[in-house]
Structure 1
């Protein structure tokens, strides 16, 4: 009677030759290698790293200063709570969205994306690996915001961490996909500073980052709820501070997921791999 051959932990096949890695393992290895290279490039770019780290902090203090001029009575928000949850939105906009638009355009115009596509790595792996350093940096900053809220502003830990994390994850995916989609409209690295401004300013002042939606008239607030980042900010606020009704939470989640799905579709449909020059 023959005994069936069993692959051991070192992935050996009959005859002692190494078994080929699974598709998932090969994909993870390629993704990790490219993401590591992207992280090294980010760390070497001192100016970009400095701006990504410092600007969100400056914006949090700007939000806090602006909120002192607004009557928050009836919103259920404190100045510190509104400023720090708005800070998460700033991180998503500046560290992920604006940074990635520049990154995708730079690599496209320098033919990096085109060269990568000639190898085994897939399109999805290329886009994901390029986004990993910015996403990691954003996660670190969001953790620091939560810690700062507990230590310096006497805010409690997130009341519903699962909602907070869900909003943050959806925001990271959405902003990464919107960055890739915006890069298709961006001809050069210099013009990326212009193509990112519409979403940046609309989100800052209309998604509850600088000004809570409850301050606006009801009809205008209902329209602003449909903006891409509004649902994410609402989820983050509820997860951290509480106070959002169940129906509003479901609406926020639906809007955020709808924009994320649209952004992913836009990338699949219109993302450009070849230089536009």
Structure 2
């Protein structure tokens, strides 16, 4: 067990080194979500959404976008490329267990995600003067979100023929994340079946928990009222339930679809 943990940490460090050496990946993973966040804030004006200034509301939902790029897109690209280059096959045949190899990739993605959330927090502090109200709640949401999208990335990489096609296979998931999750609009903006689908998307609970934990207010139901620390945790329970359900679903998908060796045909 201890050996697997050490191997996972070593592989995560290697992943981070490779990301910072690749300009294209660095832009896609680190800068593109923040650029999109800036563009979103420019369209909000002085309005309020769910009791919060519109700019602050949007920025506290940006972790949902970061999850898409820093975790999902990043891991689909890296896992597919390593599979085609036989790196995954060699790793699986070496000392690290299969779980340690995948955990190392997920750990590196988690570090990227948390680093960007810290940068986002600095941005919010400088522009909006706000500080996060419940950091432990945000961390738990981050871990569960990375677990879901890391497993989903593993499954998606199995469907991706090669590294060049990875940019195409990630698009449906990215579009759903950007259009269906309440990053820049209230959680009750969509009604009927669309609202139900939006609420069940795996990125939506991440956005709701992150926003509510940062602002210390009820953005689970959209009332915007101030919440105590206990109410922030209890209000997050339905969102955590959705995330845990997605962990189970994506784990099955990853087990079924993930490939260690190159696709043929």
Give the TM-score band, short-chain normalised: 0.7 to 0.9
Partner of 2:89: 114
Shifted more, 102-111 versus 167-176: the winner is: 167-176
Matches of 2:236 and 2:107, distance apart in 1: 28
Q: 1:228-267, aligned counterparts within 5 Å?
A: 228-241=202-215, 242-243=217-218, 244=220, 249-267=236-254
The Cα offsets for residues 134-155 of structure 1, whole Å up to 9 and x where unpaired, read as: 3212111101111211122222
- The aligned residue for residue 181 of structure 1 is 155
- Structure 1 residue 215 corresponds to structure 2 residue 192: no
1:225 matched to 2:199: yes
Correspondence for 1:190 among 164, 170, 183? 164
TM-score normalized with structure 2 length? 0.87
- 2:259 is paired with a residue of what secondary structure? coil
Where do 5+ consecutive residues of structure 1 fail to align?
1-23
Q: Which residue of 1 aligns with 2:121?
A: 146
In the TM superposition, residue 72 of structure 1 has moved relative to its aligned partner by 4.7
Q: Deviations over 1:90-139 (max 9, x none)?
A: 11101111011000000000111011111121111111212333321211
- CA–CA separation in structure 1 for the residues paired with 2:160 and 2:193: 34
Give yes or no for contact 1:131–1:176 (8 Å, CA) kept in 2.
yes
Whole-Å separation in 1 of the counterparts to 2:48 and 2:180: 16
Following the alignment from structure 2 to structure 1, what is the Cα–Cα distance between the partners of residues 17 and 132?
32
Larger-Rg structure: 1
Equivalent residue of 1:276, what SS? coil
- Over 4 Å off, 4+ runs: 245-248
* C-alpha distance 162-37 of structure 1, shift in aligned 2 (>3 A): closer
Contact map agreement 2:110 2:142 (CA 8 A) in 1: no
Per the TM alignment, residue 81 of structure 1 is displaced from its structure 2 partner at its CA by: 2.2
Deviation at 1:56, TM superposition (A): 1.4
1:219 positional shift: 5.1
- The CA RMSD over aligned residues, in Å, is 2.1
Match of 2:227 in 1: none
1:254 and 1:67 mapped to 2: Cα distance?
Answer: 31
Q: Per-residue CA shift, 1:55-92, capped at 9, x if unaligned?
A: 111011122134349x655x223212222122111111
The match for 2:5 is 28
CA contact (8 A) 1:204 1:210 kept: no
Among 159, 175, 199, the alignment partner of 2:133 is 159
Q: CA deviation at 1:43?
A: 2.3
Residues 109 and 146 in structure 2, CA contact (< 8 A), matched pair in contact too: no
Could you tell me which of 102, 107, 110 is aligned with 1:132?
107
Do the aligned residues in 2 keep the contact of 1:167 with 1:236 (CA within 8 Å)? yes
CA distance in 1 between partners of 2:106 and 2:241 (Å)? 24
Query: For 1:200, which of 174, 178, 182 is the aligned residue?
Result: 174
* 1:157-208, Cα deviation, whole Å (9 max, x unpaired): 2222232222122112111111111111111112111111111111111111
